[in-house]
A and B are shown apart, each in its own frame.
Chain A
Amino acid sequence: MNNKRQIRFRLNGEDTEVAFAPHKTLLEVLREDLNLTGTKHGCELGECGTCAVLVDGRSILSCLMLGLDAAGHEVKTIEGMANGAELHPLQQTFADLGAAQCGYCSPGFLLVAEELLEKTPNPSRPEIQEALSGNLCRCTGYIKIYEAVELAAARMRGDAYELPRESVYGLD
């Protein structure tokens, strides 16, 4: 406990300094030393994608990255995804379309989806599946997540897009 090391990095757009034991993962530093508990954990072994955050715009598993390695980098967590009080379009569509059931995997999915749309503004369904294949969700069967990504992508592009009626009410 007396061998803490201090780092400086950009966290959700703010200059941040934090001191912690050097063996700690970024996940632990975020949750335990910075009280950003929005980043979740499902295995802490790099198997489930639940703890994904963005480092310099790339999704990484925060359970597999040492906190020390964040020094000098730009880290974005779920708490930094909204623009002030205004939710990111993905956050809105995840909430509105039932893409978050228990919500535990949602932060990881949202950040990975944000990275996808940054690179691929108009992803096909297979591209969405591929991008999200490292994240496990036990509630939704992923389908509501795909629909939320597609609607958010359309809104971000400014395209008119009607959610298929069957997504909400089923087929007639």
Chain B
Amino acid sequence: MAKNLNVVGKPFRKVDARAKCVGQTKFADDIVLPRMLFCKLLRSHVPHALIKSIDASKALALPGVFAVITGKDLTIPYGILPVSQDEHALCIDKVRFVGDPVAAVAAIDEDTAFDAMNLIEVEYEPLNSITNIEEAVMIDEPRIHDYGDSGNVHKKVSLEFGNLDEGFAEADLVREDVFFYEGNTHLPMEQHAAVAHFDADQKLTLWSSTQTPHYVHRALAKVFELPAAHIRVIATPNGGGFGGKSDPFNHEVAVCKLSMITGRPVKITLTREEVFYCHRGRHPVLMKVKTGVKNDGAITAMHFQSFLDGGAYGSYGVASTFYTGALQTVTYNVPRYKFQGLRAFTNKPPCGPKRGHGTPQPRYALEVQLDKIAEQLRIDPVEIRRRHLVPPNTVTANYLRIGSMGLGACIDKVVEGSDWKNRFSGWDPTTRKLPYGKGIGIACSSYICGAGLPIYWNNMPQSAVQLRLDRQGGVCVMCGSTDIGQGSDSILAYIVAEILGIDPFDIRVVTADTDLTPVDLGSYSSRVTLMTGNAAIQAAERARELLVMAVAEKLGVPIENLSLAERRVFDVENPEVGVSFAEAVVLAESKFGTIGTVGSYTPPHSPGKFKGSGVGPSPAYSYSAAVAEVDVNPDTGIVVVERVWIAHDIGRSINPVLVMGQVEGSVYMALGEILMEEMTYRTNRNVVHKFPSLLEYKSPTTMEMCDVKTYLIEDPDPNGPYGAKEVGQGPLLPVPPAVANAVYNAVGVRIDEVPITPEKVMRALKDKGRGRNPRYGPTNVPAVEWPEPLRVLTPAEGGDGTEMPRVAVHS
């Protein structure tokens, strides 16, 4: 892009920012329709039980109640992944966690709906509950679901790339470590809400706070056996998503059904407690990682095992499982790699994708283990990372194609900014440069810029943009993408404005409406800027071409001399010769007819062709490095993160102020995960969430948030729009392990379990004082019979990305 950029890279205001600051933005619960009814869901108070009977007669008799529905009214299952169609809006014959919905009421107002809900009588026959990974692996009966690999094991995967034995034999040091990363939840400030209206013309409209209107559209068409064309899903601006509004949800289906029955609009807004039950958040993951290294820190082989506590339904879980084993290879060179993953069903709210989907957990394990390896080898933790980076434009052992790779530059920035060399004292505790209790730690990471494959198999684009130019100079950009606060509406306006030479605030942005906008798969997997951005570029360049053809003819100048800027189309050699943008549209419309263009984006094919190669490939990978500075109080175990230096390889900032906001927000969310946030349950058989409330589920306030020093590394990626890569998720990933490594630097204890609470620090310090292993964390993983791994020769071994015949090739 030799051309000077007028919009891209500039800190423009978001196109919807002012509406959000004056209270005009209409979130889902702000929608009020005439004759609207209110819905409440009756949720199970037992974790695992057969439903013997449901009696709604008293509820139906309550004045103001219009309808009550139960599982038998909605018998077709749905689920976000084609392989996990295991959900019903309302449980039919059994409940699987405390919070699983069994009935839905529509009433004249919320209070009446609430009263009616409490009048519904459900008789349960309790079943033993499965409360954690170990139980799920050991106890086959009762099964939570009647599908899955075995008993209560939902999914087992086993992949092997290259000759691991050879790799470990070459190593000078082989380390095995076990880690546990507790589950946590998105906690968007907006509770999920939806309004359904089945109108007299038999068309169904759903307004919902969803990150994935296209997938909700598909689920509704399936459940109601309606032509998709009769259903319209409009994603309202999401009051925070972070992955928590990416599944089709019970309440969305229920209000549609209730609207069909009553002929009136029906609204539901979940309580905060119910949002905890929707969950789909971070999987608790137990991990064992065995890594072989040479004396210089070069990795020779890695064997990674992960055990995911999936909760009661499939959700994105199969993808989550693969993600816990996918991105180990994209930061430091891992020539041979084996991954075994297991996802268990348990009687808890279902886990799914949270910011960084399946990646923060293994990244924690990998980066903390690398710190331990560095200590054993007496290598500076910066050096052990810096020396062995994956080169750009290569293919990893597990067939991920790396394009641009700015991690080296990221490391250099945070090392310089944090004055690492003068503060990290090496590994000898007697020569520390920081006082005892103060510590510094480093970690790195990488994330995908959009999943290479869609959730359901198809050959169509993953994102599309339609542009309409009207004769008065108006430009409307339409795209199925959903703004969850990250600024995706604005990105569309910036890119179209850049190419058409107009102001971003001249543009109308219409998004996330399945009637009006072409399909974009949704706001997940950090895909939106890259994919919608490329689609917008294509649509805008096609429009630009029509404009310059018409203007060239009118002005009698060659097409290649024309430039679009400052709301004009003009001759670059003679800038006063030109027409206004609106006149250019008139000329084009006169010549070609109504001006509308489309653009779309399909990611490049992955070099991996083996079964399971669908998770991990991406058009590009972002990179981050972080240094954390902590204060650990050895008397209380309280860890205060004082500052984080973070560098993020963004490729190019479409808007730096929005990029900064994503980096800072990621650091914030990471601090919550590493220090305090946890989805935990009472350990008796009732599996009740310990604290489904904003007060007791601890999350960082202004008083816990640390100072953040951010560096943006611009190393444009050829697959990104203007070179842009993702920033919404990646910068979260290096922060938890950087804090853990800093805690070790501060007081000499290893906390191999997230979150790092004062209790864990104190227990490890006590062990240290007694001369025991100064460590807190799990020590083993369940014994599991793994399937014969699918074996793939690495590119270095001459592999072509296909799996080998299932015979033992590497003893």
Contacts and interface: CB of A to CB of B under 8 A. Distances in A.
Interface in A22-49: 31, 35-45, 47-48
Interface string B16-52: 1111111111110110100000000000000000000
B664 A104 contact: no
Q: A39, A91, A95, A98: which has the most chain B beta carbons within 10 Å?
A: A98
A37 B23 contact: yes
A102 to B, nearest CB: 3
Contacts of A81: 22
A113 B782 CA distance: 52
B485 A139 contact: yes
Contacts of A133: 701-703
A110 B30 CA distance: 19
B21 A103 contact: yes
A97 B669 CA distance: 20
Given A79-B22, A96-B17, A144-B660, A136 B484 contact: no
Interface stretch (A3-11, A54-62, A64-72, A162-170): A162-170
A171 B713 CA distance: 10
Nearest to A138: B240
B188 A91 contact: no
Interface stretch (B291-299, B427-435, B590-598, B692-700): B692-700
B189 A101 contact: no
Given A38-B23, A104-B189, A138 B694 contact: no
Contacts of A96: 13, 17
Counting contact residues on chain A (CB < 8 A from B), the size range is: 35 or more
B272 interface: yes
B242 interface: yes
Interface in B1-15: 11, 13-14
Given A42-B189, A133-B702, A47 B693 contact: yes
Given A136-B189, A142-B702, A143-B705, A87 B18 contact: yes
B417 interface: yes
Given A137-B189, A168-B657, A45 B20 contact: no
Given A103-B25, A142-B705, A44 B272 contact: yes
A139 B661 contact: yes
A52 interface: no
B22 A42 contact: no
B53 interface: no
A141 interface: yes
A122 interface: no
Give the interface SS of chain A, mostly helix, strand, loop or mixed. loop
Interface in A104-152: 104-107, 110, 128-130, 132-144
B13 A95 contact: yes
B239 interface: yes
A16 B216 CA distance: 41
A98 B657 contact: yes
Contacts of A37: 23, 26-27, 29-30, 32
A100 interface: yes
Give the interface SS of chain B, mostly helix, strand, loop or mixed. loop
A153 interface: no
Contacts of A102: 20, 188-190, 237-241, 484-485
B656 A168 contact: yes
B44 to A, nearest CB: 22
A78 B657 CA distance: 24
A169 B656 contact: yes
A139 B665 contact: yes
Nearest to B19: A103
Contacts of B27: 37, 40, 104
B487 interface: yes
B511 to A, nearest CB: 14
A104 B190 contact: yes
A6 B430 CA distance: 73
B667 interface: yes
B712 A140 contact: no
Nearest to A148: B21
A170 B708 CA distance: 10
B660 A167 contact: yes
A24 to B, nearest CB: 10
A45 B21 contact: no
Given A138-B669, A166-B710, A101 B23 contact: no
Nearest to A48: B694
A67 B319 CA distance: 48
Counting contact residues on chain B (CB < 8 A from A), the size range is: 35 or more
Contacts of B669: 138, 141
A130 B29 CA distance: 30
Interface string B280-299: 00000000000000000000
B658 interface: yes
B314 to A, nearest CB: 26
Given A42-B191, A95-B13, A129 B702 contact: yes
Contacts of A100: 14, 17, 20-21
B187 A138 contact: yes
B271 interface: yes
Contact of A141 (B20, B187, B664, B712): B664
B538 interface: no
B23 A79 contact: yes
B567 interface: no
A103 B489 CA distance: 14
Nearest to B20: A103
A168 B11 contact: yes
A28 B11 CA distance: 37
Contacts of B542: none
A36 B23 contact: yes
B664 A170 contact: no
B702 A132 contact: yes
Q: B24, B26, B187, B661: which has the most chain A beta carbons within 10 Å?
A: B661
Contacts of B19: 103
Given A98-B14, A140-B664, A171 B417 contact: yes
A166 B657 CA distance: 10
A158 B699 CA distance: 36
A78 B20 CA distance: 10
Q: A79, A82, A91, A101: which has the most chain B beta carbons within 10 Å?
A: A101
B668 interface: yes
A101 B241 CA distance: 11
Contact of B665 (A101, A110, A135): A101
B660 A168 contact: yes
Contacts of A129: 702-703, 705
A151 to B, nearest CB: 12
A144 B664 contact: yes
Contacts of A39: 23
B658 A98 contact: yes
B21 A141 contact: no
B207 to A, nearest CB: 14
Contacts of B686: none
A167 to B, nearest CB: 7
B272 A45 contact: yes
Contacts of B709: 166, 171
Given A37-B30, A44-B271, A141-B664, 20 more contacts: A41-B29, A44-B272, A45-B694, A47-B694, A78-B22, A79-B23, A87-B21, A91-B18, A95-B13, A98-B657, A98-B660, A100-B14, A100-B17, A102-B485, A103-B21, A138-B187, A139-B485, A144-B657, A168-B11, A169-B656
15 contacts: A43-B694, A44-B272, A45-B693, A47-B272, A81-B22, A101-B485, A101-B661, A103-B16, A103-B20, A104-B190, A129-B702, A138-B665, A141-B664, A144-B661, A144-B664
Interface of B: 11, 13-14, 16-27, 29-30, 32, 109, 186-191, 237-242, 271-272, 413, 417, 484-487, 656-658, 660-661, 663-669, 693-695, 699, 701-703, 705, 708-712
Q: Which 10 A-B pairs have the closest CB atoms?
A: A38-B23, A103-B20, A102-B485, A104-B239, A141-B668, A78-B23, A95-B17, A37-B30, A101-B485, A141-B664
